Structure 1
């Protein structure tokens, strides 16, 4: 076996290693009778709240209150939330130095009464036992506990997000005490939240979950993260391809610098193997420039090895099976969004939901 083949094999094996710690939110029972406030920031979410709020009403554990913070929506977000039984409030106008989500949650917490705070994005859809397991995990572990939902896709363009969903999990440690937080679903005690300064301490951060996790770690509090397959899911960016690209570029531009160097290096090595496999098969078929074995069969086997790996690794992350068979297409999308993210970093701003935010 030549050096190129060994190098690619090592990268392929690294992909398996990076996904060994995709821990599912553990089973657990709530102790005592804690009061729980569920806080949902919502800006133009009339299409998602009819999925989320009935799901909360069907939970095996009943929270003290469900508060939807209407972030100055231009649609029927507030009226739909009220019709579905949630308490609805609207914060004051967004001041300089704050992001919409952090401003909304800051005021939502001030209006809430629970001992435990649960933050849910409006596009999440929890299974009936989710809230009970999340609160039980927070009671057991303390600090901040978060869950990355299963990524449900419906339209073809949404399949192009496969690498963003997978790499986002590969690039960080997970499990109890991992030090990483995911924003779509988080739980903390009010006491710990106040101790770290709450959302006011991350007021201007677009990806506030990462920085909130840092605050807990700095305060000596545990931060734990899990995947939510079978327990909570979401459909990201149903508004179209452009929304998806801008959303992932936003996250890329603001969070990439927060990934630990050793994890980033490992992910980049795996991605380079994936890119190599995406190039080698068409190159061998069409006579394009190619290092290593130019015959079709070994490059076909290499292609299939990475396709099978992607299918296997993503089945707990999202429903991406068919796009994994033609993974050079999402590879090109990934590269395009990466270039856009670099541009946004240099420009220093990005637009999201009609607002301009800084990327640093």
Structure 2
């Protein structure tokens, strides 16, 4: 029976089917932050590093003011901003105790974000530390669910926010979002951490070495997870669909290219290659699907079946898959149907990241960081 199926589909068709099925396995295993309420919730300090975030910070602070679980304090650490970040953070919000802390001069060997959070922790008083990026937008029950998850799991608990897109160029981030999630294990004790939203007890933070242990790391979340594991502390990660969102790189296409370039160049060596191999197999099928339909229509080079109908079916199968598996990850609608466009964008940024690895440095928010 199997041999008959292979003869009918051909090896190319069978290979494509296997890669497509692999996409379902990788894309449907992404766990969401569960809905729960903490038992006797601890005092919570929310720490926010902010560098030139005047356009994003109000969304976060307004969201924190609406939380069902009220934080003890919110500390915004102004990382030498040149805009109105500090002034906006200092604006009064009903029921939200916000303090603005000016970051000290950046010492050698530290990154701006790790230095800001290190000093924020020193100034905080809560039993539980919650680190939130300035562009995150928490729903009303986010802190409640995050604290409950931490009570159950301990160690370091992180959440990858839902990617809210507004402008057409933001849709190009489709594959970066999916590959970044598909290439790592997620869930309780997975050993992976996402920097936009993390929770830890003060005791575990001190035991791991905290941000001082990852002072010079641009992608500090990966290495913070390692620090917790070295201290024999669990590290867990979830998706934030329905709980917390963010809008990445609202400053334009250039910011998005540089941002993803930075992540690629600095975190490439941290990916678990057993997972990445599976992702590469899926990507190879997606890339082939992006090529096969226009190739069959325009007479471009093509291995295997050149029939337009069969290639349209392959294209449609991948478009349908993307529509389903991206739903809890981000707002990607029409771009799923035109997925060859984000495929080309992904490949272009990937090549730039390789060049930055060779150069040994990358720029981000006016600072130069090493990729080695």
TM-score normalized by structure 1?
0.99
Greater shift after overlay, 215-224 or 118-127? 215-224
Show CA shifts across 1:150-173 (max 9, x none): 000000000000000111110111
How far apart are residue 32 of structure 1 and its match? Answer: 1.6
> Counterparts of 2:290 and 2:92 in 1: how far apart (Å)?
47
> Counterparts of 2:121 and 2:222 in 1: how far apart (Å)?
19
Q: 1:157 aligned to 2:169?
A: yes
> Counterparts of 1:43 and 1:287 in 2: how far apart (Å)?
50
Residue of structure 2 aligned with 1:75, choices 58, 72, 83: 83
Residue of structure 1 aligned with 2:72, choices 40, 52, 64: 64
How far apart are residue 21 of structure 1 and its match? Answer: 2.0
Matches within 5 A, 1:88-107: 88-107=100-119
Q: Is the CA contact 2:162–2:241 (under 8 Å) kept in the aligned structure 1?
A: yes
> Counterparts of 1:223 and 1:341 in 2: how far apart (Å)?
28
> Counterparts of 1:280 and 1:205 in 2: how far apart (Å)?
41
Q: Is the CA contact 2:41–2:147 (under 8 Å) kept in the aligned structure 1?
A: no
Distance 1:33 1:307, change over 3 A: closer
Q: Secondary structure at the match of 2:198?
A: strand
Q: Secondary structure at the match of 2:233?
A: coil
Residue of structure 1 aligned with 2:39, choices 31, 40, 47: 31
Residue of structure 1 aligned with 2:13, choices 5, 12, 15: 5
Aligned to 2:55: 47
Residue of structure 2 aligned with 1:322, choices 323, 328, 334: 334
Q: Is the CA contact 1:54–1:84 (under 8 Å) kept in the aligned structure 2?
A: no
Superposed CA RMSD in Å reads 0.8
TM-score normalized by structure 2?
0.96
Greater shift after overlay, 26-35 or 157-166? 26-35
Q: 1:212 aligned to 2:224?
A: yes
> Counterparts of 2:255 and 2:122 in 1: how far apart (Å)?
31
> Counterparts of 2:365 and 2:103 in 1: how far apart (Å)?
17
Show CA shifts across 1:175-223 (max 9, x none): 1111100000000000000001010100011110011011111211111
> Counterparts of 2:38 and 2:92 in 1: how far apart (Å)?
26
Q: Secondary structure at the match of 1:2?
A: helix
Q: 1:17 aligned to 2:25?
A: yes
> Counterparts of 1:171 and 1:235 in 2: how far apart (Å)?
22
> Counterparts of 1:56 and 1:123 in 2: how far apart (Å)?
12
Show CA shifts across 1:252-303 (max 9, x none): 1111211111101000000000000000011101111100101111000000
How far apart are residue 227 of structure 1 and its match? Answer: 0.2
Aligned to 1:116: 128
How far apart are residue 33 of structure 1 and its match? Answer: 4.0
Q: 1:224 aligned to 2:236?
A: yes
Any gaps of 5 or more consecutive residues in structure 2?
1-8
Q: Is the CA contact 1:126–1:232 (under 8 Å) kept in the aligned structure 2?
A: yes
How far apart are residue 61 of structure 1 and its match? Answer: 0.3
> Counterparts of 1:105 and 1:200 in 2: how far apart (Å)?
10
Moved over 2 A (4+): none
Q: Is the CA contact 1:59–1:128 (under 8 Å) kept in the aligned structure 2?
A: yes
Q: Is the CA contact 2:249–2:255 (under 8 Å) kept in the aligned structure 1?
A: yes
Any gaps of 5 or more consecutive residues in structure 1?
none
Q: Secondary structure at the match of 2:16?
A: helix
> Counterparts of 1:194 and 1:19 in 2: how far apart (Å)?
35
